[in-house]
Amino acid sequence: MGHRVAIAGASGYAGGEVLRLLTGHPELEIAAATAHGHAGAPVNQVHPHLRTLAGVDFTATTVEALSDADLVIMTLPHGQSAELAAQLPAGTKIVDLGADHRLVDAEAWSAYYSGPHAGAWTYGLPELPGQRAKIADATKVAATGCYAVATTLALAPVLAAGIGSPEDVVVVAASGTSGAGRQAKPHLLASEVSGSLTPYKVGAHQHVPEIKQASGATSLSFTPVLAPMPRGILATVTIRPSTAGLTGDDVRDVLSAAYQDEPFVSVLPEGVWPQTGATLGSNSCHLQVAMDADADRIIVTAAVDNLGKGAAGQVVQCANLMLGLPETAGLSANGVAP
Ligand SMILES: NC(=O)C1=CN([C@@H]2O[C@H](COP(=O)(O)OP(=O)(O)OC[C@H]3O[C@@H](n4cnc5c(N)ncnc54)[C@H](OP(=O)(O)O)[C@@H]3O)[C@@H](O)[C@H]2O)C=CC1
Ligand SMILES: CC(=O)N[C@@H](CCC(=O)OP(=O)(O)O)C(=O)O
CA of 171 relative to ligand 1 center, distance in Å: 25
Is the CB–ligand 1 distance for residue 320 below 6 Å?
no
Residue 184: its pLDDT value, please?
86
Quick count: other Cβ atoms within 10 Å of Cβ 328?
A: 14
Strands in 48-87 per DSSP E: 59-60, 71-74
**Helical ranges in 123-247 per DSSP H:** 131-137, 146-160, 190-193, 207-215
Is the CB–ligand 1 distance for residue 78 below 6 Å?
yes
Confidence of residue 165 (pLDDT cuts 50, 70, 90): very high
Q: How many CA atoms lie within 13 A of 80 on its CB side?
A: 15
Q: Whole-model pTM?
A: 0.98
Segment 188-201 shows an average pLDDT of: 96
Query: Length of the chain in residues, anyone?
Result: 338
ipTM metric: 0.98
The CATH code of domain 3-120 reads 3.40.50.720
Segment 212-236 shows an average pLDDT of: 98
Spans of all domains in the chain = 3-120, 146-306
Q: 284: closest CA among 180, 171, 153? A: 153
Ligand 1 atom closest to Cα of 14? 13
Nearest-angstrom CA–CA distance, 330 and 313: 9
Q: Class of 146-306 per CATH?
A: alpha beta
Is the CB–ligand 1 distance for residue 9 below 6 Å?
yes
Confidence of residue 69 (pLDDT cuts 50, 70, 90): very high
Is the CB–ligand 1 distance for residue 188 below 6 Å?
no
How far apart, in Å, are the Cα atoms of 140 and each of 82, 192, 316?
11, 39, 14
Is 285 noted as a catalytic residue in this protein? no
pLDDT in tens, 282-295: 999 999 999 999 99
pLDDT in tens, 108-153: 999 999 989 999 999 999 999 999 999 999 999 999 999 999 999 9
Residue 146: its pLDDT value, please?
98
Pocket test for ligand 2, best of 146, 182, 193 (most atoms within 8 A of CB): 146
Burial class (CB in 10 A: 0-12, 13-18, 19+), 133: exposed
CA 311 to chain centre: 4
Q: Which amino acid is at 90?
A: A
| pLDDT at residue 249 tops 90 | yes
Burial class (CB in 10 A: 0-12, 13-18, 19+), 184: exposed
Region of 119 (left: φ > 0; alpha: ψ -120 to 50; beta: rest) is left
Ligand 1 atom closest to Cα of 77? 43
| pLDDT at residue 4 tops 90 | yes
Confidence of residue 1 (pLDDT cuts 50, 70, 90): low
Q: 144: closest CA among 335, 322, 326, 309? A: 309
Segment 34-41 shows an average pLDDT of: 98
